[in-house]
Amino acid sequence: MLIKIGFDIELGVTAPTALIYMLRVHPSRAADIQAGESFTISPPLATDHYTDAFSNHCARVHVPFGVSRVRLRNEAVVFDTGWPDPVSPAAIEHAPADLPVETLQFLLPSRYCEVDSELLQFAWGKFGGVPPGWQRVQAICDFVHGHLRFDYQSARATRTALEGYRERTGVCRDFTHLAITLCRCMNIPARYVTGYLGDIGVAPVPYPMDFSAWFEVYLGDRWHTFDARHNIPRIGRVVIARGRDAADVPITMVFGVNTLERFEVMTDEVLPVAA
């Protein structure tokens, strides 16, 4: 299948400043992009492109004196298999001593994932008796999915996994942070993913499209996709960035006073044209 993705984001800024964005499709999906991305910055501004420690495509925009608004737009068509997230019930869990060293950073506490908190004891009490591996991670997703209430009105950029656990509400990033933290408490490497996830194969939701957050865990010999917010295999995920938590993958970050003036996201299946 083909999926049309894109966004239109406008920020009011106080110049001079710098703006960092992570808005391009992740390099791991570059081969799936049909005819490239149509990325524009208005007004045209000098931009430095770079790759961060997690292999994400990032950019720094130089905003000079006299510029009060920066508009970022993009459109692309991405090929996708149309298959739901793979399910691998036989995927095994590794002891920390046996994990690939590059996965170890995803066991540690991070900005929004307080592994060294009351959640550590809770996780072992709640999931210690669940068979290790895929079944244990799914049990964590089941718990988080039932424990938190999804509510856009309660969204808060500073909410941590522990606060989400206590407040029992949040948006997709809060579901993801709590699930990641509980996995790490159980010595299962877990990393944060942000990207596009449209209403493909499911009933449309009654609120505006947004970027989505889910997570990946290392089981067996590879990373596997899990989603505590939806808690079912979904179709059409398009990764933008991966990191330890949301702090590593900000969609935009401005070094100074700024306001969000426009925010529109598009993720739609491209339907075949009738003959």
The per-residue pLDDT string of the chain (275 residues; one tens digit each, 9 = 90 and over) reads: 999 999 999 999 998 999 999 999 999 999 999 988 999 999 999 999 999 999 999 999 999 999 999 999 999 999 999 999 999 999 999 999 999 999 999 999 999 999 999 999 999 999 999 999 999 999 999 999 999 999 988 889 999 999 999 999 999 999 999 999 999 999 999 999 999 999 999 988 877 889 999 999 999 999 999 999 999 999 999 999 999 999 999 999 999 999 999 999 999 999 876 65
Q: Which two tokens stand for residue 12?
A: 């009011």
pLDDT of residue 275: 56
CATH no. for 2-82+251-269: 2.60.40.2250
pLDDT of residue 273: 64
Burial 190-220 (b: 16+ CB within 10 A, else e): bbbbbbbbbebeeeeeeeebbbbbbbbbbbe
What does the alpha-carbon distance between residue 18 and residue 233 come to, in Å, rounded to a whole number? 38
CATH 3.10.620.30 boundaries in the chain: 96-248
Q: Does domain 96-248 have CATH number 3.10.620.30?
A: yes
Query: Is-above-0.85 flag for pTM?
Result: yes
Cα dist. 208→153, 266, 267 in Å? 13, 9, 11
What does the alpha-carbon distance between residue 194 and residue 138 come to, in Å, rounded to a whole number? 20
CATH 2.60.40.2250 boundaries in the chain: 2-82+251-269
Place of tokens 């793979």: 86
Instruction: Name residue 21's beta-bridge partners.
Output: 59, 252
Q: Which two tokens stand for residue 93?
A: 């869990």
| Close Cβ partners of 191 (under 8 Å, ≥ 6 residues apart) | 106, 180, 215, 216, 217, 223, 242, 243, 244
The CB density around residue 26, as the number of other CB atoms within 10 Å, is: 19
Q: Are 266 and 230 spatial neighbours (Cβ–Cβ below 8 Å)? A: no
What does the alpha-carbon distance between residue 207 and residue 192 come to, in Å, rounded to a whole number? 23
Place of tokens 């208005």: 42
What does the alpha-carbon distance between residue 10 and residue 74 come to, in Å, rounded to a whole number? 12
Instruction: Name residue 59's beta-bridge partners.
Output: 21, 49
